[in-house]
Amino acid sequence: MNERGISLSTHSTKILTRREFLSALYGWGFYVAIFISFLVSSLILRNFLQGIREDNIFISSYPLNFPLFVSMVIISLYLVIVSAVSISREKEQGTLEVLFYGPVSSSSFLLGKYFTDMLLYLIIAGFFSVYFFGVSLITNLGFTVALGKAIFVSIFIASCVISFGLFISSLTGKVRSSIVWLIGILIGFLVIWFFQNMFRGIPSEALSSWLIYVQRTLNVIYYFVNWVSPFSYLSRGMESIGVGSMRPFLLNILYSVVYTVVFLTASIYILKAKGVRA
């Protein structure tokens, strides 16, 4: 691509990002997701503080990290749904075909969607910082360095979630199909996680030969899912903070960046191959 083409593609990405970003800010879904995440976090914190008052026990080094983790799960679900329907909605409405008649390429369109959702999450991360800082002042639960690291690493986790959602959306042509595929995949991840953990608690000596085969097969599938599911990066990212070493923390960030690049690149090629029609 020549210099003029790169400049035009960058300009298209900026315009698309601005359009989608303003549209999301004027919508209600963004604020509902933030409200629900804070509501659930507040309920968790209330139960936590009530347990301290009743039992006079405080055993958590990072008391605000778990409420943040729960908030991140809720926001991640919102982001993955929004991302998963973004391309298919444009196809279904016919706007994608109109856009591609102009100076809009597959890469500029995908990057516009990606940057939009990332900007939304950066705003959410700002809300997280303000909310949990306020909670720490009110409750005397410390706003620790670990919490700051958790908010920082959540940006890269959000990137994984968004790129995964865009990948699902690039595969489908209708909003309903995107939702069905997304729900099916997430349920599949959950089922694999459940059975893998169930078999993990059973000694191999207590299993028959065919159940040992099932256990080993599940281990292989779980290993694959552990790298494909964006929610695995969420749990690993939060776990890396409690280890106390920077190596797993930085490695999780690196893996998240690689994950994002791979899934965005795959989404661009799939969109080019499948075309703009629903």
- Terminal C-alpha separation, the chain: 28
Mean pLDDT computed over 119-131: 93
CA distance 213 to 211: 5
> Which residues, other chains included, contact 253 with Cβ-Cβ below 8 Å and sequence gap of 6+?
153, 156, 237
How confident is the model over 181-236, as pLDDT tens digits?
Answer: 888 998 888 888 888 877 777 776 776 777 778 778 888 888 888 899 998 888 88
Query: How do the domains of the chain map onto residue ranges?
Result: 3-274
Question: What local confidence, expressed as pLDDT, does residue 66 receive?
Answer: 83
- Please say if the pLDDT value at position 1 is more than 60: no
- Locate 245 and state its tokens: 């070493």
- Please say if the pLDDT value at position 278 is more than 70: no
CA distance 137 to 134: 5
Instruction: Judge whether 117 and 30 are in contact, CB under 8 Å.
Output: no
- Based on its alpha-carbon atoms, the radius of gyration of the chain, rounded to whole angstroms, reads 21
Give pTM, 2 decimals.
0.87
- Please say if the pLDDT value at position 96 is more than 70: no
Handedness of CA 239, 195, 223, 212 (dihedral sign): positive
Q: 173: which DSSP letter?
A: S
Neighbours of 102 (CB within 10 A): 8
- Please say if the pLDDT value at position 4 is more than 60: no
Mean pLDDT computed over 79-89: 88
CA distance 164 to 170: 10
- Locate 14 and state its tokens: 């900026």
Q: Between residues 1 and 270, which one has the greater pLDDT?
A: 270
Question: What local confidence, expressed as pLDDT, does residue 109 receive?
Answer: 84
Mean pLDDT computed over 26-44: 90
How confident is the model over 36-58, as pLDDT tens digits?
Answer: 999 999 998 888 777 666 665 55
Instruction: Judge whether 234 and 155 are in contact, CB under 8 Å.
Output: no
Instruction: Judge whether 34 and 75 are in contact, CB under 8 Å.
Output: yes
- Please say if the pLDDT value at position 29 is more than 80: yes
CA distance 197 to 199: 5
Which single residue is written with the structure tokens 């597959």? 106
pLDDT band at residue 99 under the 50/70/90 scheme: low
Which single residue is written with the structure tokens 């995964």? 164
Question: What local confidence, expressed as pLDDT, does residue 141 receive?
Answer: 76
- Please say if the pLDDT value at position 97 is more than 70: no
- Please say if the pLDDT value at position 249 is more than 80: yes
Which residue type does 141 have? Answer: L
Task: Tell me how many helices (H) and strands (E) the chain has.
Answer: 10, 0
pLDDT band at residue 6 under the 50/70/90 scheme: low
Question: What local confidence, expressed as pLDDT, does residue 16 receive?
Answer: 78
